[in-house]
Amino acid sequence: MSGLDLPWNELAVFAGVIAISGIVSGLMAGIFGIGGGAVLVPVFYQVFEILGVDESVRMHLAVGSSLAIIIPTSLRSFTAHKARGAVDMDLLKSFLVPVPIGVILASITAAFITSEGLRVVFAVLMLLVAVRLLFNRESWRLSPDLPGTAGRSVAGVIIGYFSTLMGIGGGVMNNTFMTMYGRSMHQAVATSSGVGVLIAIPGTLGYIWAGWNNPDLPIASTGYINWIAVALIIPIALIVTPYGVRIAHALKKRQLEIAFGLFCIFVSARFFWSLID
């Protein structure tokens, strides 16, 4: 892997940073139902940059590796939220086909989009969600209840598509969708953990396909999935995710919205900065 000729003490520091991001991402998965991707993508991008991974695949690798990690963390988060009876199973069942369709379309896009393009998508969407959450008003609600089958199908495809391009578990998009239609933030967070499962599994396979045999990939990569990064994060994230679920159910709705909104601004700013750096 490009960059592994660095001193072992420096590599140990990088591994430590990734491990810490595993703790944070696990908490985020439980608190916000986002699978931790919003944390992992910028961390992975930075670490891959330091290690000298080629710029053309750096963002793709960060996104793909994040999706692979979201599989177990979303499953863990979903199980914990479902045990509390907070998941909207009817909505989740209506997403069983539309969300994976969006994921497939995004995987095809990932095979052709540039690193800069992925970063723009990530930064813009995170900023829009932050504005929605921080300046939330009751009048912004589109309806007091979720749309019918057709509306849910369209929403599912959109959520699956953009979440896969961002390397996140769907929480960013689904939280916005559900709260705009009158559902509580707690229920949105819980349901998003299930959406993360629908996104992460086909998304991981899609990014493996999209990056297959790319000559610029670092060692231990299958397509746009780096298994070293995945192996470092998963055990840590699985341990701490249930603690995030406890925090989510202890906080008030507005506290969740403000906390998540501020977090989105931070992540968005980081990627806008990378575009002009």
Mean pLDDT (the chain) is: 83
Interval 40-50: pLDDT, tens: 787 788 778 87
Closest CA to 66 of 30, 100, 35, 88: 35
Tell me which residue has tokens 């997403």: 95
Interval 92-119: pLDDT, tens: 999 999 999 999 999 999 999 998 898 8
d(CA 219, CA 53): 10
pLDDT band at residue 7, thresholds of 50, 70 and 90?
A: low
CA-CA-CA-CA dihedral for 260, 261, 263, 266, to nearest 10: 170
pLDDT band at residue 1, thresholds of 50, 70 and 90?
A: very low
pLDDT given for residue 49 in this prediction: 82
Domain ranges for the chain, please list them.
8-276
Interval 191-248: pLDDT, tens: 888 998 999 999 999 999 999 989 998 888 999 998 888 888 888 877 887 787 777 7
Tokens of 156: 């599912």
Query: How many CB atoms sit inside 10 A of residue 158's CB?
Result: 15
Contacts of 231 (CB under 8 A, 6+ apart): none
Whole-structure pTM value:
0.80
Q: Is the pLDDT of residue 6 over 60?
A: no
d(CA 2, CA 198): 33
